[in-house]
Amino acid sequence: MTAFLETVPASRTAIAPLKYRADIDGMRAIAVMLVLIFHFSLVPAVKAGFFGVDIFFVISGFLITTIIKRQLDLDIFSVGAFYVNRIRRLAPALLAVLLMTMSAGALWLFPNELIELSKQALVSQLYVANFYFWRSISYFGLGAHDVFLLHMWSLAVEEQFYLIYPVCILLVHRHLKKNFWAAIMLGFLVSFGLNILFVSQKPEATFYLLPTRAWELLMGALVPLVAVKWARSERIDEMIGVLGAGLVVVSVTCYRNDFYFPGFYALLPTMGAAGLLLSGHDRTTRVSRVLSWKPIVYAGKISYSLYLVHWPINVFAALLIEQYSVSWRLAMFAVSIVLAAIVYHVVEEPTHHKRYLATKNKLLLGYTAGLAATISVFVIVRLSDGLPRRFPEEVVRLANYANDKAEKLEKCNFAGQPLTSQTSFCQIGVADQSPAWLVYGDSHAWATYAAFDKWFKLNGQAGLFIFRYGCPPLNGVHLFVFGDKGECFAFNQAVTRFIESQAYLRNIVVVATWRQAIEGRLSMSSQTQPTKEESVQLFTDRFSQTLEHLHDLGRQVYVWEPVPGARKNVPRELARAALEHRAADIEVDVAEYFSTYSFFFDALKNNRRWISVSFSPSEALCNTGKCAVSYEGNPLYSDDSHITKSTVDFWVEVLRRGKSPQ
């Protein structure tokens, strides 16, 4: 949003109009650079560069309220004109970046990836990306790094705010003018309260959705009120500027992964941004002079375009560059700045200043055409199954193994439901047999569903099946990961109680990746971040306790050993290697595999007296010094570690060759 406003006379009792403030562009520069440094992983000390988005929110709330309040006081505000200005400001650069991203996708992405990109482009163009990503991915999750347009969630939040807020304050100004600022304060308090209420219970929704984010924009909206009502000396403004800058620095460097966000912690960057806005409101301070340095101001001017382009560049580079090292990330950082400058000077700035699409009708026609084009591309890509003719048939065949996975199995995905009877589980094996088996674990258990189902049928047996994404089958552990909320602990507790109450379940199979231990994700509390050593020690203790307890219940215990997996996404890398007529060097060395999982195999050895059989994928895959990623030309994994469904016969053979641990 532009910081240019025409200056008109105003008293101290009315809101002062905002003249151009170079320091606000400087703030934008700081915000976008924090985001880029974080996303490109350039400075380890910047642990939470995503706070740049929160700073943007505060700036937007400040500017939009100042503009609209002044126009309302002058009786010249038009909701329609406001929306047209928002389209002129935001839509052209967005459309240009979506066009470039889809073009890159058409050139480099395999069909299933292009389909996903077309979905993301459509929800971005419709400004509902936050809803899409809320339902499909965690910003801090394991899959976030290769989501091409994940950063569009914040634009969606801001646009939804722009859609609702002007109408609300117009009505307040018209009917409750004396309570104008009180209404904004009430909105701030309600939104912040919802944020605090839900951040630990529904963290993904709180992160992505407007009702729990609006308070950040409304904090900026309240800055003009404070500026008018609080007569500050130059010394006070200097102190506020330093304090604001300090809060931003502290928020970024002191953030820990066990903090729920936004929550209370988001007050640090947002109050810091509000302090910077307030300190430079009436006079120039030392901090505002630094922020007004011309190179910083220029970065602020291109910040919108820079925010748009940087994440697709980062994702495509990570996808296409075999070793995406720091040097490459620095290079892509520089490429982002250059491309952003081009978008700004060629698209964003000329359209904003009406050198292109000068009239309202031309602008709306252009916007409609862009939206129609995005919808058309989405439809074409979906109906054609991702334009597969761009690649040779064998390349497409390999790439499509990314979709070769178990169905969603919502019924047997534990979501806190009581486990009181067999109907609480999925049934596997022979349909008319009484279940004697129970298989449970994390997403790797989900991936083995077809293998266990067929194995039981071949043996004339039946079982129950349940899983919880990310959660290893270990009693008494919490999963330290964004959004878990203690559900992993509850999952294992519920399954164990069911086993204890159902004596007919004679055989228990535990299946997991088991990597949670060395990733530092196992904790005594879902809100306490463990060290890697603490996480591994907790695994060792709980693995032994879980197996011993099942054995003491008179159950036969079966353990699925960790799959070796691959260095990268198997279908994608095999397809790209086939396209480029080269070998795909993604196999894990057998020595590396046993070194990585030494903690697990030590625990397996130390608890062999409780274990009847262990299933060893490595025994079937790692006979040549490296661990195979394909079988008879077919990928064994749908990503880098989850087994494919169509290779079920191979995995049934792994189950058939189960052995007593030595």
List 631's β-bridge partners, or say none: 634
- Which tens digits make up the pLDDT trace of 480-494? 876 667 889 999 999
Mean pLDDT over residues 36-54, rounded? 88
Q: Other CB atoms closer than 10 Å to residue 62's CB: what's the count?
A: 28
Helices vs. strands in the chain: H and E counts, helices first: 27, 12
Token output for 320:
């296409």
Residue 347, C-beta contacts closer than 8 angstroms, at least 6 positions apart: 92, 93, 96, 305
Average pLDDT over the chain reads 91
- Which tens digits make up the pLDDT trace of 420-446? 999 999 999 999 899 999 999 999 999
What pLDDT does 444 receive? 95
Q: Other CB atoms closer than 10 Å to residue 2's CB: what's the count?
A: 14
Please state, in angstroms and rounded to a whole number, the distance separating the CA atoms of residues 310 and 416.
38
- Indicate whether 9 pLDDT > 70: no
List 614's β-bridge partners, or say none: 559, 659
Please state, in angstroms and rounded to a whole number, the distance separating the CA atoms of residues 216 and 220.
7
Q: Which residues of 260-276 are buried (b: 16+ CB within 10 A; e: fewer)?
A: bbbbebbbbbbbbbbbb
What pLDDT does 323 receive? 85
Mean pLDDT over residues 511-534, rounded? 89
Q: Say if residue 262 is preceded by a cis peptide, omega within 30 of 0.
A: yes
Residue 186, C-beta contacts closer than 8 angstroms, at least 6 positions apart: none
Q: Which of 74-83, 164-173, 259-268, 598-607 has the lowest mean pLDDT?
A: 259-268
What pLDDT does 477 receive? 93
- Which tens digits make up the pLDDT trace of 548-570? 999 999 999 999 999 999 999 99
List 560's β-bridge partners, or say none: 615
What pLDDT does 409 receive? 87
How confident is residue 517, by pLDDT bands cut at 50, 70 and 90? very high
- Report the predicted TM-score, pTM, of the whole model to 2 decimal places: 0.88
Burial label for 169, CB within 10 Å (0-12, 13-18, 19+), is buried
CA 227 to chain centre: 36
- Which tens digits make up the pLDDT trace of 343-368? 999 999 999 999 988 899 999 999 99
Q: Which of 46-50, 228-232, 657-661 has the lowest mean pLDDT?
A: 657-661
List 427's β-bridge partners, or say none: 464
Quick one: the chain helix, strand, coil %, rounded to 5?
60, 5, 35
Q: Which of 30-44, 251-265, 372-386, 424-438 has the lowest mean pLDDT?
A: 251-265
Alpha carbon dihedral 83, 89, 93, 98, in 10-degree steps, equals: -20
List 467's β-bridge partners, or say none: 413, 441
Return the residue matching tokens 């994928």.
Answer: 617
Whether the Cβ atoms of residue 96 and residue 312 lie closer than 8 Å to each other = no
Q: Other CB atoms closer than 10 Å to residue 343's CB: what's the count?
A: 23
Specify which of 17-26, 202-211, 271-280 reaches the highest per-range mean pLDDT.
271-280
Using DSSP's 3-state secondary structure scheme, residue 414 falls into: coil
CA distances for 597 relative to 403, 540, 563, 601, angstroms: 28, 12, 10, 6
Whether the Cβ atoms of residue 522 and residue 578 lie closer than 8 Å to each other = no
H/E segment holding residue 343: helix 326-343
Q: How many CA atoms lie within 13 A of 109 on its CB side?
A: 27
Token output for 573:
């890398």
H/E segment holding residue 627: strand 626-627
Answer CATH for 405-563+597-619 from 3.30.720, 2.60.40, 3.40.470, 3.40.50: 3.40.50
Please state, in angstroms and rounded to a whole number, the distance separating the CA atoms of residues 290 and 284.
10
Whether the Cβ atoms of residue 518 and residue 535 lie closer than 8 Å to each other = yes
- Indicate whether 661 pLDDT > 70: no
Would you say the C-alpha torsion 212, 48, 134, 478 has a positive or negative sign?
Answer: negative
Please state, in angstroms and rounded to a whole number, the distance separating the CA atoms of residues 609 and 499.
20
What pLDDT does 18 receive? 56
What pLDDT does 142 receive? 42
- Which tens digits make up the pLDDT trace of 229-285? 898 899 999 999 999 999 999 999 888 776 778 999 999 999 999 999 999 998 899
Nearest to 495 by CA among 441, 560, 562: 441
- Indicate whether 1 pLDDT > 50: no
Mean pLDDT over residues 128-148, rounded? 75
The angle formed by the CA atoms of residues 260, 213 and 483, to the nearest 5 degrees, is: 30
- Indicate whether 304 pLDDT > 50: yes
Domain coordinates in residue numbering, the chain: 22-388, 405-563+597-619
The angle formed by the CA atoms of residues 165, 28 and 150, to the nearest 5 degrees, is: 70
How confident is residue 525, by pLDDT bands cut at 50, 70 and 90? confident
Token output for 162:
């722009």
- Which tens digits make up the pLDDT trace of 92-114? 999 999 999 999 999 999 999 99
Token output for 623:
């006979």
Nearest to 442 by CA among 515, 340, 349: 515
What pLDDT does 662 receive? 57
- Indicate whether 543 pLDDT > 90: yes
Whether the Cβ atoms of residue 270 and residue 219 lie closer than 8 Å to each other = yes
